[in-house]
């Protein structure tokens, strides 16, 4: 893996064995679509990172310096993914954050993930998302719930091994998101997406879609979602992903989702070349 590792503004050889990201998942991350040597949605990703850092009271490295390093990591990359992890740095034992912690951060460039079929097949995950307003919305590194959920259909023996993504409910039966994407549904002529105030990640692409569709944030039950006129997923790596199936439920392609994809491709050409 092509990774650059830093502590504060110094490039270092490796990750410290006592890094708090490793010990406690005490960090944040961003996964950015890269296009023609840069990350076009940088500003939105950095803004979310700042919201997360404020919530966790985690000091961030200097944005200009990180961005210069990101540009260097993306040199010559026509299409790919840039991952940035920022942790609270080294920390010895014990949960108390050091008062003058210097953040550690890792930049890595990755190929685009393999394309998904056009019209995803979804499944429901058994693993629930717990309700934790203190961590909701931000993209922190405590992701065991997603790991467990994604593992449900990773098995050769899983009957729905060919599912593209899984939808997750919270512990109070509200639809929240897919394991690695946000979800939108058209219900009674309105576009709705789950609120991210109690769990889930408020995605960068979700924010674009919310504004573009003038959608509403809402609690959404499983029956509501299953009876929707159409459903799609979105994230900042893959853009808009129409959904064709959810278990037994099937949806035909929806003209408004095609229009939305066209608008996204116009606003962010990186999404025109993929899917």
Binding region for its own copies (CB under 8 A)? 1, 3, 5, 13-27, 29, 31, 56-57, 81, 83, 85, 87-88, 92-97, 99, 106, 108, 110, 113, 127-128, 130-132, 134-135, 140-151, 154, 171, 179-180, 199
Least Å distance, CB 186 to its own copies, is: 27
Least Å distance, CB 123 to its own copies, is: 14
Least Å distance, CB 92 to its own copies, is: 7
Instruction: Kindly state the tokens that stand for 57.
Output: 């009271």
CA geometry: angle at 255 spanning 249 and 256, to 5°? 95
H or E, element range at 149: helix 144-151
Query: 224: buried, middle or exposed (CB in 10 Å: 19+, 13-18, 0-12)?
Result: middle
Contact criterion met (CB below 8 Å) for 8 and 102 = yes
Nearer to its own copies, 241 or 257 (CB): 241
Nearer to its own copies, 24 or 275 (CB): 24
Nearer to its own copies, 52 or 242 (CB): 52
Q: Transcribe 22-51 into DSSP letters.
A: HHH--EEEEEEEEETTB-TTHHHHHHHHHH
Nearer to its own copies, 49 or 228 (CB): 49
Nearer to its own copies, 20 or 186 (CB): 20
Residues 6+ apart with CB under 8 A from 107: 3, 4, 6, 66, 69, 70, 73, 82, 83, 84
Least Å distance, CB 214 to its own copies, is: 31
Least Å distance, CB 108 to its own copies, is: 7
């Amino acid at each position: 893996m092509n990774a650059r590792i830093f502590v504060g503004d110094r490039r270092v050889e490796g990750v410290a064995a006592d890094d708090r990201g490793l010990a406690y998942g005490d960090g944040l991350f961003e996964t950015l679509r890269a296009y023609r040597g840069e990350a076009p949605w940088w500003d939105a990703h950095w803004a979310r990172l700042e919201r997360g850092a404020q919530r966790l009271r985690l000091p961030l490295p200097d944005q200009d310096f990180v961005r210069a390093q990101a540009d260097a990591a993306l040199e010559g990359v026509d299409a790919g993914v840039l991952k940035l992890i920022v942790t609270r740095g080294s920390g010895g034992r014990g949960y108390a954050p050091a008062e003058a912690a210097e953040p550690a951060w890792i930049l890595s460039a990755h190929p685009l993930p393999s394309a998904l079929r056009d019209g995803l097949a979804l499944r429901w995950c058994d693993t629930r998302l717990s309700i934790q307003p203190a961590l909701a919305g931000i993209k922190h590194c405590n992701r065991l719930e997603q790991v467990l959920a994604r593992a449900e259909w990773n098995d050769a023996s899983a009957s729905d091994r060919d599912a593209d993504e899984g939808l997750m409910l919270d512990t109070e039966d509200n639809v929240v998101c897919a394991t690695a994407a946000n979800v939108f549904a058209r219900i009674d002529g309105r576009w709705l997406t789950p609120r991210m105030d109690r769990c889930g990640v408020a995605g960068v692409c979700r924010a674009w879609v919310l504004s573009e569709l003038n959608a509403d944030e809402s609690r959404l039950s499983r029956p509501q979602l299953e009876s929707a006129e159409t459903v799609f997923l979105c994230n900042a790596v893959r853009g808009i992903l129409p959904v064709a199936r959810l278990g037994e439920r099937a949806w035909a392609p929806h003209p408004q989702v095609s229009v939305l994809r066209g608008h996204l491709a116009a606003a962010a050409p990186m999404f025109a070349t993929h899917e």
